[in-house]
Amino acid sequence: MTSELPLLTVERARIRVVELPLLAPFTTSFGTQTVRRAVLVELEGDGAAGIGECAAGIEPAYSSETAAGAVEVLREYILPAVLGKPAADPRGQARRWAWVRGHNMAKAAAEMALLDQAGHAAGISLKAMLGGVKDRIECGVSIGIQASLGATLETVEGFLEQGYRRIKLKCKPGYDVTLARAVRERFPETPVMLDANSAYTLQDVAALRALDEFGLMMIEQPLAHDDLLDHAALQGQIRTPICLDESIESLTDLRAAIALRSGQILNLKAGRVGGLLPSIDLQATAAAAGWPVWCGGMLETGIGRAANLAVASLPGFTLPGDTSASDRYFERDVITEPFRLASDGTMAVPQGPGLGVDVDRERLEQITVHQENVGRS
Ligand code: NPQ
Ligand code: MG
């Protein structure tokens, strides 16, 4: 954090679960999502309010965390650790739950709400609090597995017409080389990458090596979510740079991956690594090792999307991220001004206090499926 922030007390805390329907089903190697269920944390104190979004999904498929698990850990451990206890700044508050092992996405949701609250109290943007340097972010788009190759090519074309600067295609064993070839033939110059979400093993090295001829920017998380050794072995056998996503849940993981040469690029998601403040350290460590970093996405509502743009404005983030516009996923977002892509494929980083977005309270109530106050509130 670059800015000095005032003393801040969390006087009231609330957990809210929302369900936002997706415009189209989103299919990865681990399953199909048709709705984004998101856990939100709402905080108030010292006359300022903050909101944060949890990245955990319904099922423990992308990571071991779930929305229901996050609700419990937030209610029982994370929020009680900070309620009614002053601290110098959000970093000081986050230290109060450092004893909780794991549950990075639940911690990140609470931290996002604290930063939003602190930003509102002090009149400082999240971007400024984190030390962001860019006003606009170059955006890519992540495209799920479609019913046919033809449908995929049409989808790619539509997003390129909107201005997106790089295309990420979800792949899986048996749906990789044909996919890469078809997209390359139709869009020879477009920056393209694949994301396997851990669907391969070292047995599949032949198919993964066959991808080398397509000049892909990278292949994301080909192997198991916790296997840095096999990723290192694979990187030794393929030219396409490996980008790690699921494998990196902490600075320790990243340092090990760098030392082992398990990849060359980092997809950084604040939720996965326990928050925006830890993300500052990861992007600096990656940059020092010569690893480009980009900001991943978790089908966030406008709340989490605002945080993604703020963190993507840090200096280590040098590649276009999965920071797409609200209308990539949702008919109607939960913020009054949805995030829009400019025709040059960039999006503005919010400049207002905190997250810099206004929540559409009517929309929020409409999509709420559960809410509870925490502690004495
Ligand atoms: C990725 N995101 O980079 C993830 C995968 C993902 C934009 O490709 C609920 C919970 C829905 C977790 C959808 C993108 C999810 C999810 C996608 C993770 O691997
Ligand atoms: Mg990924």
Nearest to 192 by CA among 247, 152, 248: 152
Alpha helices in 163-275 (DSSP H): 177-186, 205-210, 228-235, 251-260
Nearest C-alpha to atom 5 of ligand 1 is from which residue?
Answer: 298
In the block, which residue shows the tokens 């990075």? 104
How many domains, in total, are found in the chain? Answer: 2
Is there a domain that residue 4 lies in? no
Are 84 and 116 within one domain?
yes
- Give the separation between CA 90 and CA 356, rounded to whole angstroms: 17
Are 217 and 112 within one domain?
no
- Give the separation between CA 122 and CA 129, rounded to whole angstroms: 10
Phi, psi of 166 (to 5 degrees): -155, 150
Contact status, residue 313 vs residue 349, Cβ threshold 8 Å: yes
Tell which one of 19, 22, 28, 329 to mutate to probe ligand 1, the residue whose CB is within 8 A of the most ligand atoms.
28
User: What tens digit of pLDDT does each residue of 304-338 get?
Assistant: 999 999 999 999 999 999 999 999 999 999 999 99
Query: Is 172 marked active-site?
Result: no
Question: For residue 313, what are the CA distances in angstroms to 126, 135, 294?
Answer: 10, 7, 10
List the domain range (segments joined by +) for residue 73: 12-123+360-373
Q: CA-based angle 151:334:345, to the nearest 5? A: 50
Among residues 107, 168, 170, 172, which one is catalytic?
170
Query: Is 170 marked active-site?
Result: yes
Question: For residue 137, what are the CA distances in angstroms to 147, 164, 255, 327, 349?
Answer: 31, 11, 26, 17, 7
Are 208 and 318 within one domain?
yes
Instruction: List residues bridging with 319 in a β-sheet.
Output: none
CATH number at residue 67: 3.30.390.10
Look at residue 5 in the predicted model and tell me its pLDDT. Answer: 60
CATH number at residue 323: 3.20.20.120
Ordered per-residue pLDDT tens for the chain, 377 residues: 555 566 579 999 999 999 999 999 999 999 999 999 999 999 999 899 999 999 999 999 999 999 999 999 999 999 999 999 988 888 999 999 999 999 999 999 999 999 999 999 999 999 999 999 999 999 999 999 999 999 999 999 999 999 999 999 999 999 999 999 999 999 999 999 999 999 999 999 999 999 999 999 999 999 999 999 999 999 999 999 999 999 999 999 999 999 999 999 999 999 999 999 999 999 999 999 999 999 999 999 999 999 999 999 999 999 999 999 999 999 999 999 999 999 999 999 999 999 999 999 999 999 999 999 998 65
Look at residue 88 in the predicted model and tell me its pLDDT. Answer: 86
Are 171 and 154 within one domain?
yes
What is this structure's pTM? 0.97
CA 134 to chain centre: 18
Nearest to 217 by CA among 189, 259, 252, 182: 189
Question: For residue 13, what are the CA distances in angstroms to 54, 78, 169?
Answer: 15, 11, 39
